[in-house]
């Protein structure tokens, strides 16, 4: 269930979004560090999109209605205004918000073209810059590929085609060893999606995927939300990670109800 993978990635990644120690022993640190941790706007918008699709509701109205219930969950300034203004117009954003919220699209749709069209639609309500659209489409497509038995290499090749090394600073074509020394916290789709997918590509299970995220000074909750659904679908679950326990502890009743619907 890609949505569970995305939400869990958001929660686990939230510990280090702004407070990651420079000398973090990411290979051995407990998955739950004791730092403040919880769901963020990534989870709220992921589940709002799921609710809209499952119940046949208007996408924008549902995102606004659910988003307003959680005013302090970490929205970026422009998206906060988008939720709270009366006119919810797209604002040409290339931010990674379009990619962090699209997991259910990759999980839900069987038809490839329909999946990609819906991924674009979920982005375009706010993040209608070409890179914002691409981030959502690539993320949903990687989840779809993992669900349909595509290999790790096939997923990598697709992402590399979309984010080639000669055009993107953090292309999936760069190893994490190459990225770590030069990665700078980045909230763009182009700076987040390919690097998050590299965290998946170099993993061997869901836990090692999360640890790869911990290895970067990055927008870690959003990396978890972007590629967490891919990791969950590809590995068929969470291995030794107590996903159910973490989700029950950190989600409130309303969000859990949408997650399990």
Helix or strand (DSSP H, E) at 249: helix 243-250
Domains and CATH numbers, the chain: 2-24+38-260 (1.10.4080.10)
Q: What is the pLDDT of residue 18?
A: 87
Contact present, 9 and 223 (Cβ < 8 Å):
yes
Contacts of 69-76 with CB under 8 Å at 24 or more apart are 69/44, 69/254, 70/41, 70/44, 73/39, 73/40, 73/41, 73/43, 73/44, 74/40, 74/41, 74/42, 74/221, 75/41, 76/41, 76/187
> Across residues 209-225, what is the average pLDDT?
97
Contact present, 112 and 153 (Cβ < 8 Å):
no
234 has pLDDT over 90: yes
Segment 54-100, tens digit of pLDDT: 999 999 999 999 999 999 999 999 999 999 999 999 999 999 999 99
Q: What is the pLDDT of residue 19?
A: 82
Nearest of 117, 130, 195, 123 to residue 156 by alpha carbon: 195
Judge if pTM exceeds 0.75: yes
Query: What is the average pLDDT value for the chain, to the nearest integer?
Result: 97
Q: What is the pLDDT of residue 246?
A: 98
d(CA 146, CA 231): 8
Contact present, 225 and 135 (Cβ < 8 Å):
no
> Across residues 4-27, what is the average pLDDT?
95
Residue 77 phi, psi dihedral angles, 5° rounding: -60, -45
187 has pLDDT over 90: yes
């Amino acid at each position: 269930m890609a949505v569970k993978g995305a939400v869990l990635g958001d929660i686990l990644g939230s510990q280090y979004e702004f407070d990651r120690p420079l000398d973090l022993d990411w290979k051995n640190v407990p998955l739950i560090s004791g730092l403040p941790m919880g769901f963020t706007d990534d989870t709220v918008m992921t589940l709002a999109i799921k609710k809209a699709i499952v119940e046949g509701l208007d996408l924008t109205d549902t995102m606004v209605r659910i988003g307003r219930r959680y005013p302090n969950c970490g929205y970026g300034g422009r998206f906060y205004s988008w939720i709270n203004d009366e006119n919810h117009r797209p604002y040409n954003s290339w931010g990674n918000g379009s990619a962090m919220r699209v997991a259910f699209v990759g999980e839900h749709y069987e038809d490839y073209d329909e999946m990609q069209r819906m991924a674009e639609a979920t982005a375009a309500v706010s993040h209608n810059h070409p890179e914002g659209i691409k981030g959502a489409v690539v993320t949903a497509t990687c989840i779809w590929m993992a669900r349909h038995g595509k290999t790790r290499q096939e997923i990598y090749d697709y992402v590399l085609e979309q984010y080639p090394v000669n055009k993107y600073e953090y292309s999936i074509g760069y190893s994490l060893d190459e990225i770590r020394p030069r990665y700078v916290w980045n909230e763009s789709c182009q700076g987040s999606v390919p690097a998050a997918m590299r965290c998946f590509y170099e993993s061997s299970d869901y836990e090692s995927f999360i640890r790869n995220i911990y290895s970067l000074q990055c927008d870690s909750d959003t990396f978890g939300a972007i590629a967490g659904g891919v990791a969950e679908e590809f590995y068929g679950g969470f291995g030794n990670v107590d996903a159910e326990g973490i989700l029950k502890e950190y989600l409130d009743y309303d969000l859990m109800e949408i997650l399990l619907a």
